[in-house]
A and B are shown apart, each in its own frame.
Chain A
């Protein structure tokens, strides 16, 4: 069966520090991968998605970037965090022939 792993679960980082959140999927190949963000009191917003290695699409211009160095690995990064980057970050995957997004457990990022 397929599983998705996302870490760390919580993270507190100072303003101006770098960020790296990692997500991996097991049990499938060539998944579509996604990063969503949930800011306090708001719904979920798609940040990035990827349909293959090295292929990244950005939905919202911002301080963050994403990379897909391996088929089942998706990384969310920032060179310098802003206070507004605080939120709950969710990684998700879907199989290209299916429509369902399956979500990881999320990372709670607090920028102080």
Chain B
């Protein structure tokens, strides 16, 4: 069965610092991978996706992610974090014929001034 692991439950960074959120997946075929962000009490907004091709994908709000098949990873990065980036971040993989998603447990990001 497909699974997604986000090893870091909570990460704290200072504003302006770089950020990397980890995501590892378990999937037999070529994975279709996503990063979503959730602000408190809100729905999920798509940050970026990887389907095929270039393994470094760019997303909204200055985020990027790199797909590494050899490491089964799809880590999210941002070179300089802004206070507005404080939120919960979810990594997900398409896991069925109906395009449903399997999510990681999420990483809560706190940004210090």
Closest chain-B Cβ to A28's Cβ sits at a distance in Å of 13
A13 within 8 A of B: no
From A43, A51, A100, contact of B34 by CB (8 A) = A100
Residue of B nearest to A43 (CB): B105
Within 8 A of B (CB), among A82-112: 90, 92, 94, 96, 98-106, 108
From B41, B44, B51, B99, contact of A103 by CB (8 A) = B44
Contact digits for B80-106, partner A, Cβ 8 Å, 1 yes 0 no: 000000000010101010111111111
Please measure, in the bound complex, the distance between the C-alpha atom of A51 and the C-alpha atom of B96, giving whole angstroms.
12
A residues near B, CB below 8 A? 6, 32, 34, 36, 42-46, 49-51, 57, 59, 90, 92, 94, 96, 98-106, 108
B residues near A, CB below 8 A? 6, 32, 34, 36, 41-46, 49, 51, 90, 92, 94, 96, 98-106
Pairs A–B under 8 Å by Cβ, sample size 11: A6-B43, A34-B100, A43-B103, A43-B104, A44-B90, A44-B92, A46-B102, A98-B99, A99-B32, A99-B51, A100-B34
